[in-house]
Structure 1
Amino acid sequence: MTPETRSSGASLVGAMLERRYRVDSLIARGGMSTVYRGLDTRLDRPVAIKVMDAQYSGDRSFVERFEREARAAARLHHPDIVAVYDQGVDHGPAGDHVFLVMQLVEGCTLRDLIMDCGGRLPLPTALSVMAPVLSALGAAHQADMVHRDVKPENVLIGTDGSVMVADFGLVRAAAEAGTTSGGVILGTVAYLSPEQVTTGAADARSDVYAAGIVFYEMLTGRPAYVGDTALSVAYRHVNDDVPPPSELVPEIPPAVDDLVFRATRRDPARRPESAEAFLTELERVRTELGIAPVAVPAPASEERTRQLTPPVAAGDPPTEQIPPVRDTPPVGPQRTRAMARPATGDHTQEFSTVAAPPSGPERDRRRSRRTVVVWTVLVLVLAALVGGAAYWLGIGSYVQVPRVVGEQEAAAQQTLEGADLTGNVTKEYNNTIAEGVVISSNPGEGSRVRSGGTVDLVVSLGKPKVPQIAEGTTVAEAESAIRNVKLQPKHDESGDQYHTTVPEGRVISVNPAPGTALNISTEVTLIVSKGPPPVKVPDVRGMSRDDAFTTLRNAGFDPYEAGRQFDSGVDGDHVISTDPAIGSELRLVGQPRIGVVLSNAVQVPSLNGVQVDEAKQQVAALGLQLSVQEFFERPNMVILGQYPLPGSRVEPGTTIHATAF
C-alpha cells in the first residue's frame, strides 16, 4: 500500500490491529485520521478505533507525542468525556498504523442535533447541552489538559440524551510534532481563539473562547464569523468582537448576550479563566432567568442513531488548499485545518512559488504591475488613515475610563454612568480592602473605550467570614462552604466530641465561631461528633429481675436473661451479674444488649412443728428433698429440728435433714 493510497483513507475493514482489535466497519474519514467500528477481542467489547493518517504514522516525533497525549487523555475519567481505552502502533507489511481505541457512542454529533432542531437550539436546550460540555472541559483543565479543537463535531449526543466531548489532545500531538512547522496552526478556523491565530498558543481560556463560539452557533444556527477564505475568518477572530446572538434571534435575553460576550473576549485575560468558571457563570445566568434544565433531545433520525465516535479532525492540507468558507452557515462537518500563521503585527498572508527567471519584456510587465499594485496599496492605506482619523475625531465616540478604584461600588457605578459606560461587577475577598470598595477596573483608568461600553469592576467582599454551619451538616458540605469563602477547612480527629443528638461523623461546630472575619486561606477547624457519649452499665446486682430490666432499659440498653447460677448471697430470681459487666462504658449506638445473670438459690423454709407429711410436700414444691430421722415411730409425728437452718439459701435439689418425734 503506497502512502498516497493510505492517506486517502484506504479501508482497514477486516484487519486485526496488534492481534487484539478487529476492524469491522468504517464510521468516518478525514485528513488526520479514519475512524472504524471495531471489537476488542480480548474483552469482547465494541470500541471505536481511530487510525491516524500515514503522514503521522511515519513521524517518530508525532508517535511519541501521540502516545503521551493518549496516556494523558486516558486518565480523564468523567461521565461527559469519551473514554480512551488504549493506544498503539500496529506494524504490518503494508506499513505502520498508529491508532487510538475509544469508547463507542451511539447517537449523533451536536452538528446533527442543531440541524434536527430546525437550524438552531431553543435556549433551554442550548444551556442543557452547554453545561456538560463545560463540565467535561473543566475536568480536563483541572488535569492541566487543553482540548484545542472544541467544535460541534467533537460534541456527541447519545441516544439517551447524554452529552460527551471527544478528541482531547490529538490536535496538540499533531501541532507539536515534526509534521507541521512552527508557522502552521492546527485547528478548526471557525472556532480558533485570537491567540491561537496570532501566536499558536492555547490554554484553558482558548477552550473557553471556542466553547463560547459553539454556544453562539447553538443559539443562532450559524458560526459567529464567516468569510471568503479560512484566513479571512481567522482575521475576524483577531480583530472583531463576536456580535450578540440577539442580533439574529431577538428573543435571546441580554444576560445570555453578555455571557457569550464574556466568553469570547479577544483578550484572554478578560474571559473566564477556565471552563469551570464559565460553567459557574452559565449556571448563574440560568438561575437568574428561571430556566430549568431540560432533557437533551435524542437523535431524530435512524441514520444518526448508528454507532458514532469522536468525529475525525481533518488532516494537515497545504495552506493554499484550504476550502473557502462561504457566507452561509456550514451544514457539514467543520474540519480541523492547518493554516499558515500571520506574521506578528501583520494579518496579511503572502504565498509565493518558485519559477524560471522571466524574460526582459516579462520583467517589464511584472515591474509595471508591481508599480500599479504599490500605488493601489498606498491609496488604500491613505484612505484608511483618513477614514480612521475621521472616525476617531467625530464618527466614532470614545471616552476615557474614569478613576473608580477605591470608590464604593454604588459611587463607582454612578461615575461610570456619568461617562456613558456600564460597570460589570465581580466580587472577591480581600484582606486589606473594605467590603464594597472597588479593587480594580479593566480597562484601567485613562483607557479609551467606546461610548456605551463595559468596564469590568472587581469589588471587595472584605475579609472572608466563617460561614454558618448548622449542627448535623456533613463534613463534605461544611468543607465546601468554608472553601467557598476562600478559607481552609481543617479536621483534627483528636478534637472530635461526643454529642447526644448530632449523629456520628456530622459537624457539631466550627472554630473560630461563625461570623469571625479571617484572612484568606486561614484554617477553620471542624468539630465533628463521635456520636452519643458512652454510658456505664448500671449496678443492678441484687435487684429482682423485673426491677433490673426496668433500670437497664431506662439507661438505653436492651436487657435479656443470660442464664441462672447459684450464689449463696443472692436471693433467687435476683441479679448476680451482667454481661458486659456492671460499670462498663458502652456507646449507645442503636440499643446495646445487656445479658442479665439471675440467681437460682432456694430459701430453706422453717419446718419446725410441721407434721412430716406436710413438710415433705413443702420441700418438694421448692425443688428440695427431705430426709427425716424418726424416733419412736408413731402417727402424726412432727419435726423438731432441721439442717440447713431456716432462711438459708441452697441450690435446687439440696436435701434438708430433719428430726421428728
Structure 2
Amino acid sequence: MDERGVGLIGALLEQRYRVDALLARGGMSSVYRGLDTRLDRRVAIKVMDARFADDRAFVDRFEREARSAAKIHHPNVVAVHDQGVDTSPNGDLVYLVMELVDGGTLRDLINERGALDVPTALAIMEPVLSALAAAHRAGLVHRDVKPENVLIGHGGEGGSTVKVADFGLVRAIHSAGTTSASVILGTVAYLSPEQVTTGNATSTGDVYSAGIVLFEALTGTAPYTGDNAISVAYRHVNDDVPAPSTLAKGIPPELDDLVVRATRRDAALRPVDGAAFLAEIEKLRVLTGAPRVVVPVPAPTIADRTMPVSPAMIGNSSGVLDIGEAEQTVRNAPVVSPAMSQAAPSGATIVRQAPPGGFRPVGPQGTRAMLRTDLDRASAAATEYVPPASGRFPAQQPQVAPPPPPPRNRPPRRAPEPTGRGGMIALWSVVGVLVLALVGTSTWWFTSGRYRAVPDVAGMARDDAERTLLANDLDPQVQTERHDDVQAGTVIRTDPADGTEILRGDAVTMYVSLGKPKVPEVRAGADPEDVADLIRAQGLRPDRDDGQNRYDEAVEKGKVVSVTPQPGTELELGARVVIVLSKGPEPKPIPDVRNKTKDEAFQELTALGYSPVEGPPEFSPDVEGGRVVRTDPEIGSKLEGDDKTVTVYVSTAVTVPDVGGRSADEATAMLAQLELQAEIHAFSGGNGRVIGQRPAPGSKVEPNSKVTIWAIP
C-alpha cells in the first residue's frame, strides 16, 4: 500500500501502538492487529494510504470524523479508541485505533453460506439497525453501509456479537480532492439514488443501503450487478429493487414488503431512520414468529485487494480515483495499481492486467469515487438498451453504435480568393466582428461571467436548496446544527451569505436545521464526561446537582445513572440538562449489636461494609461484661460518606456471685477472682458461714466494687 507497508509490522506508532499482523488490505487503507502498550489492550489499527497523509484537508476532516464516531457509545458500534498521525523520516501515517473484533464480516458469512435463512438475517439486521439508530440520534450518517462494514465476532458463553464499523470515514475521504457536485462517492452496489444523483447523504440513505444489505443476506446476491460501476449506479436511479422472494424461497410476504419499502427510490417512502427500520424489523419478527438465533461467526477472508476499473472508466482523462476499501467484482478486468496510481501524472489513468485466473469475488463493489458525467453518458446510452435473452435481473448494457464510414476521397477544395477592393473590405469586416466578439466575451467573462451571486435558499428544504445551488454552478456543502425555530431539514443560512458574489464552482456551505435539541439517550454506567459531550453535541448545557444524585445498586459510584429531563425531551438551545450520578449502593443502617460479644458485633458490621473499632470500655448495669453496650454512630444510623468507621463500646460490668453458705474465706477468694472486694461482718469473729450479702447475687457492678458479707460461726 505505502512504502512502509511490510516494514510497518513490529513498528510502534507514536511510541504507543505496536503493529503486530496484517488483517486486511484495501485501496484506501490497511488494517492490522495491534497492541496498545500503554493500556495492554489488543486493538485494530487502520492505517490510511500514505497519499492521504500529505493532504491537510483530509487529515483535518479525518480527525473530526474520528471524534464524531468516537462519541457513538453503543454495544453494536465498533468503538473508536484513538486517532493520530505518526511522523517518521519515511513519511507520515494517518491511523485510527479501534476495538478489535475477533471474527469476520457479513461478506465472509455470505461467501461461506450463500443466502441466509430468515432468522439469521433478522438476527444480523437488528444490531446493525440499532447501531444506525444510535448514530442517527446523534446527527451522524454512516454513508457506506455494506456487508464489509458489518463485523461478526465471538461473544460470551458461546454466543456472537454484531458490530458496525467505519462511521464517517467516507465523509473524511470526501475531503481528499473530490466534490459532491461532480463525484459519486461510496460503494456503488449499496448507494441510494440520491447519493448517486446529488451526493446527498441522509439517514434515509443509510436505510436504503441497509435494505440492500438485507436483500443480499436473504438472496446471497446484490439486486443490481453489471459489467461496470456506472451501469450499477444507473440502475439504482432508474430501477425498483425487486422483492427478495423472486430470487429465494421461504421469505415471508411481510419481509418482502419491508425490503421493497426500505429501498424505494423516493426517500420519503422509506423508514425515516435506523430506529424506524428497526421497529419494523421487530414488529415483523412478532408477526412471523421468527425465532431468535445466534449469528454464526465466519472465518475472515484476508486478501490483498485492489480496485477493479470498469471498461467505461479506462482511459478517462479526468483521472477517476479509487479512494476506498477495494473489493473485486469484475473478473479478468484491468485494475489500477495503487503504487502506479500515486506516481501517475495528473489526468492519467495507469492500468495493469489482472493476474491469470481472475480474482476471488468478495463483494459487489468497493468504496469509490466516480464522475457523474459517466452516469449521464450511461443514461443517454440506455435509450438504445436491448434486454439480454436470459437472466432475471440483467444489467443494462448500452448498444455500441457502429463506427461511421470513412470519408470519401475527394480533391481538396481551394478557398475562393478575394478579388479587388470589395473582397478586402468583406475580409476585414469579418475580422472586425470576430475581434469585437472576442473582446466582448472576454470582458463579460472577467467582469461577471466568472461569478455567481449566492441565491437565497434560507427556509428551503435541504434537497431543494442543493438543486438551486447546483443550478447556479455552485458546490453545495452541508453542515447541520440545532435550531429552536427552524424545522428539521430546512436551511437556516449559507456561508457565504446570500447575495455574495463568488467564483463559479466555489463551495457554499448550507447550515441545515436538525430541529430543536433533544435530551440524548444515555447508558447507565457511562462516564460523566462522555455524557456531557453528548449533551453539548445537542446544543444543550450539561450540569451537575449533587442533591439529585442517588444510590444505585448496579451502577458504580461516580458513574451516570440518568439525566434530567428524560431522554427525548425537546428543549431550547442552551437549556440545562442535569447529569444524575450514582452514589453507589445505598448504605445499610447500623445493626443492633447490643448484648452481643465484641467478636460477633465486629463480624456483623464488617459484612455490611462498615469498619468497626473498639472504643473505651464503659460500665452498664444492664449489659453483662464483655458484651456490647452501644455503638457510635448509634444503632439504626446510615453512613453516607467514605468514612465507614463504627466505634463499638463493650460493657465492663461484673455480675455479683452468690456466696451464701460458704465460709468467709471462700467468699472472699471467690469475689477477688472477679475483681471485687469483700467486706466481712462476722458475728463473734472467726471464719463463720455467710448468711447474707449486698449487692444481691446477680447484680451488675463496676470492677473493684465492694460486696458486704455477713457471717456467723
Q: Given the two structures, how large is their TM-score scaled by the length of structure 2?
A: 0.51
8 Å CA contact retained: 1:184, 1:338: yes
- Structure 1 pair 343–628 and aligned structure 2 pair: CA distance change class (3 A): same
- SS of aligned partner of 2:379: coil
Q: CA deviation at 1:19?
A: 5.8
Matching residue's letter, 2:254: A
Q: Which moved more, 1:260-269 or 1:20-29?
A: 20-29
- Structure 1 pair 660–581 and aligned structure 2 pair: CA distance change class (3 A): same
Q: Which moved more, 1:262-271 or 1:146-155?
A: 262-271
8 Å CA contact retained: 2:587, 2:639: yes
8 Å CA contact retained: 1:315, 1:338: no
1:459-482: CA deviation from partner (whole Å, max 9, x where unpaired): xxxxxxxxxxxxxxxx99xxxxxx
Decide which of 106, 110, 114 is 1:114's aligned counterpart: 110
Q: Highest CA radius of gyration, 1 or 2?
A: 1
How far apart, in 1, do the equivalents of 2:628 and 2:86 lie?
A: 77
1:12 aligns with 2:5: yes
Q: CA deviation at 1:228?
A: 4.8
How far apart, in 2, do the equivalents of 1:81 and 1:313 lie?
A: 27
How far apart, in 2, do the equivalents of 1:645 and 1:574 lie?
A: 17
8 Å CA contact retained: 1:537, 1:582: no
Match of 1:625 in 2: 678
Q: CA deviation at 1:95?
A: 4.7
How far apart, in 2, do the equivalents of 1:495 and 1:92 lie?
A: 51
Decide which of 113, 118, 123 is 1:123's aligned counterpart: 118
Match of 1:336 in 2: 367
Q: Which moved more, 1:616-625 or 1:151-160?
A: 616-625
How far apart, in 2, do the equivalents of 1:58 and 1:146 lie?
A: 26
How far apart, in 2, do the equivalents of 1:344 and 1:124 lie?
A: 38
How far apart, in 2, do the equivalents of 1:637 and 1:629 lie?
A: 7
Matching residue's letter, 1:186: L
Backbone CA RMSD of aligned residues? 5.9
Q: CA deviation at 1:86?
A: 3.7
Decide which of 78, 83, 104 is 1:87's aligned counterpart: 83
1:437-458: CA deviation from partner (whole Å, max 9, x where unpaired): xxxxxxxxxxxxxxxxxxxxxx
- SS of aligned partner of 1:14: helix
Alignment of 1:35-74 (within 5 A): 35-37=30-32, 39-40=34-35, 42-43=37-38, 48-53=44-49, 55-74=51-70
- Structure 1 pair 305–604 and aligned structure 2 pair: CA distance change class (3 A): closer
Decide which of 120, 141, 144 is 1:149's aligned counterpart: 144
- Figure out how many residues of one structure are paired with residues of the other and give that number: 465
Matching residue's letter, 2:7: G
- SS of aligned partner of 1:201: coil
- SS of aligned partner of 2:6: coil
Q: CA deviation at 1:585?
A: 5.1
Match of 1:479 in 2: none
- Structure 1 pair 19–583 and aligned structure 2 pair: CA distance change class (3 A): closer
- Structure 1 pair 228–41 and aligned structure 2 pair: CA distance change class (3 A): closer
Match of 1:183 in 2: 182
8 Å CA contact retained: 1:85, 1:102: yes
Q: CA deviation at 1:532?
A: 12
Q: Given the two structures, how large is their TM-score scaled by the length of structure 1?
A: 0.54
Matching residue's letter, 1:142: R
- Structure 1 pair 224–598 and aligned structure 2 pair: CA distance change class (3 A): same
Match of 2:129 in 1: 134
How far apart, in 2, do the equivalents of 1:197 and 1:104 lie?
A: 32
Q: CA deviation at 1:34?
A: 3.5
Matching residue's letter, 2:104: C
Where do 5+ consecutive residues of structure 2 fail to align?
Answer: 321-327, 332-359, 383-405, 410-523, 526-544, 556-568, 572-584, 597-613, 641-645
Match of 2:490 in 1: none
- Structure 1 pair 349–156 and aligned structure 2 pair: CA distance change class (3 A): farther
Alignment of 1:20-419 (within 5 A): 20=15, 27-30=23-26, 32-37=27-32, 39-40=34-35, 42-43=37-38, 48-53=44-49, 55-91=51-87, 95-117=91-113, 119-158=114-153, 161-180=160-179, 182-299=181-298, 304-305=299-300, 331-333=361-363, 334-341=365-372, 348=379
- Structure 1 pair 227–250 and aligned structure 2 pair: CA distance change class (3 A): same
Q: CA deviation at 1:252?
A: 0.4
Q: CA deviation at 1:137?
A: 2.3
1:565-601: CA deviation from partner (whole Å, max 9, x where unpaired): 767xx58969999414999655799xx9997858536
8 Å CA contact retained: 2:619, 2:651: no
8 Å CA contact retained: 1:504, 1:531: no
- Structure 1 pair 578–347 and aligned structure 2 pair: CA distance change class (3 A): farther
Match of 1:554 in 2: none
How far apart, in 1, do the equivalents of 2:33 and 2:693 lie?
A: 98
Q: CA deviation at 1:25?
A: 5.7
- Structure 1 pair 203–649 and aligned structure 2 pair: CA distance change class (3 A): closer
Matching residue's letter, 1:625: A
Q: Which moved more, 1:92-101 or 1:144-153?
A: 92-101
How far apart, in 2, do the equivalents of 1:566 and 1:636 lie?
A: 33
How far apart, in 2, do the equivalents of 1:17 and 1:243 lie?
A: 50
Where do 5+ consecutive residues of structure 1 fail to align?
Answer: 1-5, 352-358, 363-474, 477-491, 498-502, 506-519, 523-529, 546-560
